[in-house]
Amino acid sequence: MKLLTEKETGTVVDYMLNLGKQMLSAGASLERAQDAIYRTCHAYGLVDVSLYALSSFLSLSVKNASGFSCHEQTTIPKSSIQMKKLDQLNRLSREVCATKPAPSQLMTMLTKASHVTPYPRWAVCLAQTAALLCLCGLFNGGIRELPAICIIVPLCNLVGWLITKPGADVGKVVYELVSAFLAGSIGMLYCRLVPGADIYILLITSAFMLIPGIPIINSVRNVMCGNEVNGAIELMKVVIETVTIVGGLVVSAAVFGGGVM
């Protein structure tokens, strides 16, 4: 391919940083975002690549074949798991590396790949309810516990909607704490009203809805792949969130437990 001009080099770097930003904010592991950036650099003949990456920050410096240097950096917004968006970004990354389109087309392609229509909240709530009902059954839950799950999941989704709507600047730890307290309180009160319902099954099942599974996997993978600093930071976040969930359940037990626990 022809040598990149200074403007084209800046455009490619801008595309790579925005691609990494979109991938990380959609829940990708740090290694996947790094790999996409390195492969794009190789595809466009960029050398002396220096990439500093965290789950909250990206900094990239490159040189083109003419010796022109370009450096950009960006911060990463709060991540939320969006598997459909991540799949489209992965497809875009492979397509760009294989076909090497003109730099002027890259941002348009990225914008198109980043546009994903979110699932309706009612559909997400219904899917979570079905998943937790199955999980409750795996934990040997019976017909007595199922109605409580059908109450807990929609209410926790309502809390999530209230906290994440525009203008509500509330962190994930607060959401985990409130949701865990709400789930535990409903479980305690339900077991008071329905003799024979198992509070432990309800609490364990509710906790699985809140535990940050994919961030746990990503943080462990960071450490195993040599990104110890980012892995340690992300693992600390996961530990804090998990302790918060336990704290919410403990507080609900202290307030509503009585003779149930």
Q: What is the DSSP letter of 71?
A: E
Mean pLDDT of the 227-239 span: 89
pLDDT tens digits for range 23-33 = 999 988 899 99
- The CA angle 67-73-79, to the nearest 5 degrees, is 140
The token pair that represents 213 in the structure block? 């599974």
pTM to 2 decimal places: 0.81
Nearest CA among 142, 84, 106, 127 for reference residue 17: 106
Mean pLDDT of the 199-224 span: 87
Q: What are phi and psi for residue 62, nearest 5 degrees? A: -145, 170
pLDDT band at 79 (very low <50, low <70, confident <90, very high): confident
Q: What are phi and psi for residue 50, nearest 5 degrees? A: -125, 110
- Please compute Rg for the chain using Cα positions: 23
Residue with tokens 């209410």: 155
Mean pLDDT of the 235-246 span: 90
